[in-house]
Structure 1
Amino acid sequence: MAASYCEGTVRGCGPEFNPEHAAQAFHKAMKGFGTDEKAIIKLLAGHCNDQRQEIKKKFKVMFGANLEEELKGELSGHFLELCQYLLMPSRYFDAWCLHKAMKGIGTKEIRLIEILSTKSNSEIQTIKTEYKKLFGSELESDVVSETSGHLRHILVSLIQGNRNEEQYMNSDIVRQDVQDLYEAGEKVLGTDEAVFNKVLALRGVGHLQEVFKLYRQEHQQDIEAVIASETSGDTKEAYLAIVKFIKDPPAYFAECLYKCMEGLGTKDERLMQIVVDRSELDLKDIGEKYMEMYKKALPTAIADDTSGDYRKLLVRLTNPN
Structure 2
Amino acid sequence: MSNQHINPTVRPVDPFDPQEDARCLKKAMKGLGTDEKSLTNILSKRSYEQRMEINVYYKTMYGKDLQQDLQDETSGHYRDALIALVTPLPCYYAKELNDSLRGICTNEDVLIEILATLTNNQLKAVRNAYVKNYGKDLESDIIGDTSGTFRRLLVALNNAGRDESSVIDMSAVERDAKALYNAGAKRLGTDEDEFIQIFCQRSYEHLRVVFEQYKILSGKEIEQSIKSEFSGDSKECLLAIARHVLCPSLHFAKRIRGAFKLLTTKHNQLIRFIVTRSSIDMADVKIDYKTKYGHNLEKDIKKYSGGDYSKLLLALIAEN
Q: For the superposition of Structure 1 and Structure 2, which TM-score range results when normalised by the shorter chain?
A: over 0.9
User: How much does 1:279 deviate?
Assistant: 1.4
1:60-99 matched pairs, under 5 angstroms? 60-99=59-98
Maintained 8 Å contact 1:50/1:89: no
> In the alignment, what sits opposite 1:10?
10
> In the alignment, what sits opposite 1:161?
160
> In the alignment, what sits opposite 1:19?
18
> In the alignment, what sits opposite 2:179?
180
CA distance, structure 2, for counterparts of residue 86 and residue 3 of structure 1: 24
Q: Report the secondary structure of 2:56's partner residue.
A: helix
Maintained 8 Å contact 2:8/2:282: yes
Q: Report the secondary structure of 1:161's partner residue.
A: coil
CA distance, structure 1, for counterparts of residue 100 and residue 87 of structure 2: 17
- Which deviations, in whole Å up to 9, do the C-alpha atoms of 1:37-81 show, x marking residues without a partner? 111111110111221222122222222322222222211111111
1:190-209 matched pairs, under 5 angstroms? 190-209=189-208
> In the alignment, what sits opposite 1:243?
242
CA distance, structure 1, for counterparts of residue 90 and residue 169 of structure 2: 32
CA distance, structure 2, for counterparts of residue 171 and residue 51 of structure 1: 41
What residue identity is the alignment partner of 2:153?
I
1:209-288 matched pairs, under 5 angstroms? 209-262=208-261, 264-288=263-287
- Which deviations, in whole Å up to 9, do the C-alpha atoms of 1:124-149 show, x marking residues without a partner? 11111111111111111111111111
CA distance, structure 2, for counterparts of residue 317 and residue 6 of structure 1: 16
| Bigger shift: residues 163-172 or 153-162 | 163-172
What residue identity is the alignment partner of 1:13?
V
- Which deviations, in whole Å up to 9, do the C-alpha atoms of 1:195-246 show, x marking residues without a partner? 1101100111111111100111121111100000111000000000000000
The two structures have a TM-score, normalised by structure 1, of 0.96
> In the alignment, what sits opposite 2:39?
40
Structure-2 change in CA distance of 1:96 and 1:205 (3 Å): same
| Bigger shift: residues 238-247 or 84-93 | 84-93
User: How much does 1:101 deviate?
Assistant: 1.4
Maintained 8 Å contact 1:2/1:119: no
- Which deviations, in whole Å up to 9, do the C-alpha atoms of 1:80-136 show, x marking residues without a partner? 111111111122212221112111231111111111111111111111111111111
> Any stretches of 5+ residues in structure 2 without a counterpart?
none
CA distance, structure 1, for counterparts of residue 185 and residue 62 of structure 2: 64
CA distance, structure 2, for counterparts of residue 54 and residue 174 of structure 1: 43
> In the alignment, what sits opposite 1:149?
148
1:128 aligns with 2:112: no
Moved over 3 A (4+): none
User: How much does 1:296 deviate?
Assistant: 1.3
1:110-125 matched pairs, under 5 angstroms? 110-125=109-124
The two structures have a TM-score, normalised by structure 2, of 0.96
What residue identity is the alignment partner of 2:310?
R
Percent identity for Structure 1 against Structure 2: 37
Maintained 8 Å contact 1:215/1:222: yes
Structure-2 change in CA distance of 1:111 and 1:2 (3 Å): farther
Maintained 8 Å contact 1:109/1:234: yes
CA distance, structure 2, for counterparts of residue 248 and residue 316 of structure 1: 24
What residue identity is the alignment partner of 1:117?
A
Query: Aligned residue pairs: how many?
Result: 320
Superposition CA RMSD, Å: 1.4
User: How much does 1:263 deviate?
Assistant: 5.8
Q: Report the secondary structure of 2:198's partner residue.
A: helix
What residue identity is the alignment partner of 1:8?
P
- Which deviations, in whole Å up to 9, do the C-alpha atoms of 1:279-301 show, x marking residues without a partner? 10111111111111111111221
What residue identity is the alignment partner of 2:188?
L
Structure-2 change in CA distance of 1:263 and 1:199 (3 Å): farther
CA distance, structure 2, for counterparts of residue 50 and residue 302 of structure 1: 26
Q: Report the secondary structure of 1:33's partner residue.
A: coil
